[in-house]
Structure 1
């Protein structure tokens, strides 16, 4: 019996179901149920929420979310080997866990969820950033989710919360901080996982703002930021060449010097530049 429910410890579950982590699926299992419960708590009050979980694996975080009172958990799992272990959790929490086998990049979860919705996941390393960018760039804002509580490699987590002037500052920081309040909630050493990854991990909590921090057209902002950071070592007058015929004037009008580099430009300045570029 584990400390958070009447189900067996995760090591026993993994052994019973032959669940060795697969590198091809970006799997690193978190076995300490005290830690998974701590991650679930960092998502806030779950009692009135549906929760979307991607890549539950043997169900450590799933059990944490349910034990913390999540109204309904929708778990999307690509690895069919994990389904039997997840079925045991569903039986222990009747009517509160739904498991879908498939690729999270290809499944629309909204038909299975009722707002308010939170997303919590120990994301597979190979799709984590792509999923985050999708959640941050929906066609309309605010998004279907209220908060994201996501585990990443520490390096990716630092890129999400990075400030101008740091090496980690880039496109991911702009996308995240424009529309959310982002913070690192928890850090985890490699030894917390089976098998231990080569890098440390961190849990990032992102709360959706009702409106973006500064006005800007999303597609224009994405285009400007992607172009600026694609050649981050170049001055912006060179990195953004071709963006507008009178580029230097638009940079100056946005409070940016043409000789500045992307990593020194604030979110507010990028939004001003996106408005000036959009203005034609």
Structure 2
């Protein structure tokens, strides 16, 4: 399917990236095709995209054979997306609205992959929502998401590193997360002030006997005062310091030195919230 260049589409519709909506447009078709290839074969697979803008990544996903549902709150971009839908009949569904206000599993109604160049201002909120909750495995089969590089590094961080924190534990305790690709700021229009990176996440087995709410409670307390010893940061959580000692974890350690498995064991020891 031959499509006009993205720059031409954007110029014709008078579009410009909205700073308020955290938008940065990608025009490099080869780069977009590489991103769309990260989840694997998308032939006739359902894919959810948040914040498609004028449809750069959407094109690549459609070229890869996906059935795309795109959630876009910027009304200016809807005509360009409508044209794309006409070029791929029956393959693109566009939902106008705020992705944070929509139940994605209900919207999709079948197993689906998520692929997005996430708007910077809502990226972390959406990511934590997709990884949250007691029900597991989720209906989504993979997440292929563009973040600011600093956020991406926090997601895949190892213990004892400056980037390691709540986001790493959330992403890694029942999922596999990897840094799939770095994207230079010059690839975007307008170029953001920071570098970007793509994280790929797939669900893994959920550890038995662990409440997601309890784990969130433990990590919030532990990393809320990350410079303090665990016996200090966890003292407001009844039974936590005793649970540490019962697990053989030195309470004078700091949160960033604990492995994901240690946080899981602590949450299990404390029981359901």
Shorter-normalised TM range? over 0.9
1:114 is displaced (CA, Å) by 4.3
Q: Which moved more, 1:46-55 or 1:149-158?
A: 46-55
1:108 is displaced (CA, Å) by 2.2
Task: Check 1:109–1:243 CA distance in 2 against 1; reply closer, same or farther (3 A cut).
Answer: closer
1:277 is displaced (CA, Å) by 1.6
1:235 is displaced (CA, Å) by 0.1
1:14 is displaced (CA, Å) by 1.0
Deviations 1:21-44 (A, max 9, x none): 011000001111111111000011
Decide whether the 8 Å contact of 1:161 with 1:184 is kept in 2: yes
What corresponds to 2:32 in structure 1? Answer: 36
Match of 2:258 among 257, 261, 265: 265
Match of 1:65 among 58, 61, 64: 61
Deviations 1:63-95 (A, max 9, x none): 00010111x100000100000000111000000
Deviations 1:177-219 (A, max 9, x none): 011110011100100000000000001000111x225642111
Match of 1:212 among 202, 206, 209: 206
Query: How many residues are treated as equivalent by the alignment?
Result: 273
What corresponds to 1:140 in structure 2? Answer: 135
Unpaired runs of 5+ residues, structure 1, are: none
Task: Check 1:259–1:201 CA distance in 2 against 1; reply closer, same or farther (3 A cut).
Answer: same
Q: Distance in 2 between matches of 1:13 and 1:279?
A: 53
Matched, 1:14 2:7: no
What corresponds to 1:252 in structure 2? Answer: 245
Task: Check 1:59–1:174 CA distance in 2 against 1; reply closer, same or farther (3 A cut).
Answer: same
Q: CA RMSD in A?
A: 1.4
Decide whether the 8 Å contact of 2:114 with 2:140 is kept in 1: yes
What corresponds to 2:87 in structure 1? Answer: 92
1:153 is displaced (CA, Å) by 0.2
Task: Check 1:110–1:218 CA distance in 2 against 1; reply closer, same or farther (3 A cut).
Answer: closer
What corresponds to 1:165 in structure 2? Answer: 160
Decide whether the 8 Å contact of 1:180 with 1:207 is kept in 2: yes
1:98 is displaced (CA, Å) by 0.3
Matched, 1:189 2:184: yes
Q: Distance in 2 between matches of 1:172 and 1:255?
A: 24
1:138 is displaced (CA, Å) by 2.9
Q: Distance in 2 between matches of 1:12 and 1:279?
A: 55
1:110 is displaced (CA, Å) by 3.4
Match of 2:97 among 102, 127, 144: 102
**Residue aligned with 2:228, SS:** coil
Runs (4 or more) in structure 1 with deviation over 2 Å come to 108-116
Unpaired runs of 5+ residues, structure 2, are: none
